[in-house]
Chain A
Amino acid sequence: MSETITAPTASTARPHLPSIAALGWSRGVAETRMFFREKDAVIFTFAFPIILLVIFGSIFGGNLEGTPITVSQLYTAGLIGAGVMSASFQNLGIGIAVDRDDGTLKRLAGTPLPRSAYFIGKILNVLVVALLEVAILLAIGVVAYGLALPSEPLRWVTFAWVFLLGITGSALLGIAVSSLPRSARSATAVISMPFVVLQFISGVFIPMTQLPDWLIDISAFFPLRWMCQGFRSVFLGDAGAALEMTKSYELDRVALILGAWVVGGLVLCLTTFRWKSRRDG
């Protein structure tokens, strides 16, 4: 019967494959749409830092020793760091583990979608979530806790690079750890536990000056502590520098370590990323 069949139209002209940029954008729109429809994921990534800020802001009042800065303002700056990491590290770590388990990655691998477009989509989704999270936390800080937004453009420049380096490093770390959970069901526990620990030892909930040396050494290795330190320099200003361990925000070290995480995270992703689930071998 083969000779009676005409070939499908595809072979007539050389077909024009859609561009990676267009596909990345299309993935970003679909990812963001799916993210906001999945209510438990939204609550997990969004509400957690917001609820903590409101709780801590209500429990601890008053100023920090010898400064005009209140405890709630300190928490606002720290939780912005934690919020950015939650939107990138936690969101991607869990999200990609789920994609691997529910067949998303396998299905996409069978289509002409370039793999880079999948990651562009994830990154666009992370940027939207993180910017929204920062905006909400800042709004609460300004309205409820008298946080003053910086007026000097230079501090916004600092905000921009801390945000970009921090979110990129955390996102790459999230993509790398997404290979650890054995299934989607274990992903939330496997990814969230280290993140909660990291928040406790990185100065988000407890000031670094009150931590033992060995915990400080551990936290120095990860990006969260440096991201929080950078955000404190933006939102607490010179008056807050006295609260830091070295009486300075050490912005050069912040840049160095966050930059190193971008490079190291990329290497980690390229060497460890799995497209298949363990089931698929």
Chain B
Amino acid sequence: MTQSAVKVRGLAKRYGDVQAVGGIDLEIHAGEVFAILGPNGAGKSTTVEILEGYRRRDAGEVSVLGTDPQHPTRLWRSRVGIVLQTANDTAELTVRETVRHFAGYYPNARDPDEVIAKVGLTEKAGSRVRQLSGGQRRRVDVALGVIGNPELLFLDEPTTGFDPEARRRFWDLMEDLAHDGTTIVLTTHYLDEAEALADRVAVIAGGRIVAEGEPATLGGRATAKARVSWLEAGERRHLETGTPTRTVMELTRRFDGEVPELTVTRPSLEDIYLGLIGAGTRAEVSP
């Protein structure tokens, strides 16, 4: 049985003359980690803010946990967690005071001290939020997003400004939450983050979804041609091929053993992504 946490049909939103979102269909299953990728201004934040109930849409059908986010109820809000992109509030409260205060809003809140420990702020629990570094501040945001024990968690570029260690810790936390059954929807600029966390990925460009699928197979990645590269007569040679193993065997025969500076690469998620958003932009210019 696969239930859907988010269902979107024909979503559209325009700001003045700009069509920010131009007909998006989306289905996110319960328990899934779903990443939305796309360049700035592609419509991903608008899409997510409509799902979160922050913005009204112009057209389309949207159902988030069975409710239209345009008409949020308190009960629905208590089932949805949101981690905002930028916030500088509660600066004068301590981390513990802030997390405890927000826990009081929810009917089924998690234990505040446990949540603080989970985001790695136990040592800072008694510090004023004002005194935290940027990365620590973001971890408070994450703590406030999960304190209500949400069934569905939205994260808008959660690891911007994190150092590599903090990012890895954050990934572990997301895996924990996903393991507990929380549906996670995140937008990110980091393709390695999407690859590490997401079960499925959608790429938005020019207000439309240009590709959707598992990170490993997105945009035909798994079946794309491999690139074999080597050095021959002091010159670098390349070959794009669907059968790289045969190419390497032929090269081995030709060189009678070791092939100088041999590499075999498949397109990274980043290569696929850059190809996709390039295509998306062109589609926008000549619709």
Contact = CB atoms under 8 A, between A and B. Distances in A.
B90 A17 contact: no
B87 A34 contact: no
A18 interface: yes
A107 B87 contact: yes
Interface string B81-103: 01010111111110001000110
A9 B151 CA distance: 9
Interface string A158-173: 0000000000000000
Contacts of A197: none
B104 A110 contact: no
A174 to B, nearest CB: 19
The winner among B78, B144, B182 for most chain A CB atoms within 10 A is: B78
B94 to A, nearest CB: 10
B78 A112 contact: yes
Interface string A1-13: 1110111111100
Q: Classify chain B's interface size.
A: 35 or more
A106 B154 CA distance: 14
A1 B32 contact: yes
B30 interface: yes
Interface in A1-38: 1-3, 5-11, 15-18, 22-23, 26, 30, 33-34, 37-38
The winner among A6, A7, A104, A106 for most chain B CB atoms within 10 A is: A106
A2 B91 CA distance: 39
Nearest to B85: A103
A192 B30 CA distance: 51
B149 A8 contact: yes
A18 B107 contact: yes
Interface residues of A, number: 36
Contacts of A8: 149-151, 180-182
Contact of A10 (B86, B88, B108): B108
Contact of B89 (A9, A16, A107): A107
B31 A1 contact: yes
A37 B92 CA distance: 6
B255 interface: no
A3 B31 CA distance: 9
B114 to A, nearest CB: 15
Given A111-B77, A112-B106, A103 B54 contact: no
B254 interface: no
Contacts of A135: none
Given A5-B30, A18-B104, A110-B52, A103 B88 contact: yes
Contacts of B105: 18, 23, 111-113
Contact of A17 (B2, B107, B182): B107
Contacts of B90: 30, 34, 104
A106 B87 contact: yes
Nearest to A26: B104
Contacts of B74: 17, 112, 114
B87 A102 contact: yes
B199 A1 contact: yes
Nearest to B180: A8
A156 B43 CA distance: 60
A280 B144 CA distance: 21
Contacts of B148: 111-112
A212 B30 CA distance: 71
B89 A109 contact: no
A38 B129 CA distance: 13
A34 B101 contact: no
Given A3-B2, A10-B108, A104 B149 contact: no
A10 B149 contact: yes
Contact of A106 (B31, B84, B102): B84
A29 to B, nearest CB: 8
Given A18-B104, A103-B89, 11 more contacts: A1-B31, A1-B32, A2-B1, A5-B31, A30-B90, A30-B93, A34-B93, A102-B87, A102-B88, A107-B82, A113-B105
Q: Which 7 A-B pairs have the closest CB atoms?
A: A103-B87, A15-B107, A5-B31, A104-B89, A37-B92, A112-B77, A110-B82
Interface of B: 1-3, 15, 29-32, 52-54, 74-75, 77-80, 82, 84, 86-93, 97, 101-102, 104-108, 128, 144, 148-151, 180-182, 199
